[in-house]
Amino acid sequence: MLTAFAQAFKTPDLRKKLLFTLGIIVVYRLGAHVPIPGVSYTNVQICMDQTKSSQGLFGLVNMFSGGALLQITIFALGIMPYITASIILQLLTVVIPRLEALKKEGQSGQTKITQYTRYLTVALAILQGTGLVATARTGALFGSCTVANQIVPNQSIFTTVVMVITMTAGTCAVMWLGELVTDKGIGNGMSILMFVSIAAGFPSALWAIKSSGHLAGGWIEFSAVILVGFAMVGLVVFVEQAQRRIPVQYAKRMVGRRSYGGTSTYIPLKVNQAGVIPVIFASSLLYIPALIVQFSGSNAGWALWVKDNLTKGDHPYYLVTYFLLIVFFAFFYVAISFNPEEVADNMKKYGGFIPGIRAGRPTAEYLSYVLNRITWPGSLYLGLIALVPTMALVGFGANQNFPFGGTSILIIVGVGLETVKQIESQLQQRNYEGFLR
């Protein structure tokens, strides 16, 4: 693998792409440490040390921003507005006929959908930026910090507008950087930036585990966490690569003097067809009750119940609810992202059929049956990946957003596999041995 990696840098155009991607990553990480105007950087650091708010309500978003959210930098919102906008557009494609028609138009339609995604990203960035500034002004961002209400010393309208515009511009810059990586670098730009954001939290999180340990100066706990991490990575790689291949044959047909078809192929149905989306949906939905309680400031019975049961990552109610939501969203997302009837119609149109299954409606029913069967283990796998690290690492002082937790490990492994495959394919095109020998 190391030899192949050296060969990648020896290839001029591939080396250029790799260096370009690394340069964009450096710019992205620099922007994640530049505070926006109107924020007291000193007070932010004091609150970060006092409250360790990465374990609070904003921990998930802070993880996706590479720690930039709680430091209120120009890239504080990171790529979350773009991710949210992409998911919303994908869901609306099933509901709105106009978007569904654009999706079927091919490249031109996809370009239009991408443009809508950008517009929605800007709107969401303005909304989320306003919410973040309001949270920081009231002191709710850092909870019990003694100087939480002094994060934004000047609370004038002008300062607030400047802060929101700066964070919105930062989100647009992140979106632009991601598209540059996609066009001129290696891999999917947005996925690469998400990978970098999550990986940036590894050193500090691992050192926190070591510092909070009691056995052999914390090194035993540190080693145990590393072993758990390697085991989880191995499991994720195994399941993410697993797929059910549905054989498809195409009948031979004559067009003029030429014959077409007569080939055999397959439809790859992944065990984890939904990817990491169900975990993100479940995490986001579980944050809503806690955010409502935090912003309302209520001490009613329902508010106290939410604080006691749905804000602690190791509470049984939280774990059960989280697991059930992941299973539900796995089936929900697979149902809207894979249409068996559309696949069956396309196969019938081009003369394809599954051996032993009649074309048309029986094919759609068979695909739906297989998809439901493999979605069950896929959804249970997602739920276990999200919960097992949480329960295993809570004894070592980790929180639910530890980098080896469910959401982060799925994203890191998934992006890593796709990026390695792209480098592998480009190496094979140039007759070099790739990573996967």
- Residue pLDDT, tens place only, 182-218: 888 888 888 888 888 888 877 777 777 777 766 666 7
Report the C-alpha gap between 21 and 8 in whole angstroms: 14
**pLDDT at position 46:** 80
Q: Is the dihedral of CA 180, 183, 185, 187 positive or negative?
A: positive
Q: Are strands 243-250 and 253-255 parallel, antiparallel or unpaired?
A: unpaired
Check whether 100 has a pLDDT greater than 90: no
**Does 156 or 69 have the greater pLDDT score?**
156
Report the C-alpha gap between 246 and 73 in whole angstroms: 48
Q: How far is CA 210 from CA 25, 66, 141, 271, 362, in A?
A: 28, 21, 27, 35, 57
| Domain architecture of the chain: domains with CATH | 14-194 (1.10.3370.10), 202-402 (1.10.3370.10)
Report the C-alpha gap between 391 and 220 in whole angstroms: 18
DSSP label of 318 = H
Decide: 298 and 401 in contact? Cβ < 8 Å.
Answer: no
Q: How far is C-alpha 80 from the chain's CA centre? A: 9
pLDDT in tens, 313-331: 667 788 888 889 889 989 9
**Residues facing residue 9 across a β-bridge:** none
**pLDDT at position 286:** 78
Check whether 138 has a pLDDT greater than 80: no
Report the C-alpha gap between 27 and 105 in whole angstroms: 36
Amino acid making up residue 258: R
Mean pLDDT of 299-309: 73
pLDDT in tens, 222-279: 787 788 778 888 888 888 888 888 888 877 766 666 666 567 788 888 888 888 888 8
> What is the SS3 assignment for 270?
strand
**pLDDT at position 118:** 92
Most confident of 204-213, 225-234, 375-384, 393-402: 375-384
- DSSP element (H, E) containing 260: strand 258-260
**pLDDT at position 359:** 83
Q: Is the dihedral of CA 20, 180, 73, 199 positive or negative?
A: negative
Check whether 2 has a pLDDT greater than 70: no
Extract the tokens encoding 189. Answer: 């730009």
Report the C-alpha gap between 62 and 399 in whole angstroms: 13
Contacts of 229 (CB under 8 A, 6+ apart): 404, 409
Contacts of 328 (CB under 8 A, 6+ apart): 278
Decide: 3 and 149 in contact? Cβ < 8 Å.
Answer: no
> What is the SS3 assignment for 435?
coil
**Does 117 or 155 have the greater pLDDT score?**
117
Give the pLDDT band of residue 387 (cuts 50, 70, 90): confident
Report the C-alpha gap between 48 and 236 in whole angstroms: 32
Give the pLDDT band of residue 385 (cuts 50, 70, 90): confident
Q: Are strands 258-260 and 264-270 parallel, antiparallel or unpaired?
A: unpaired
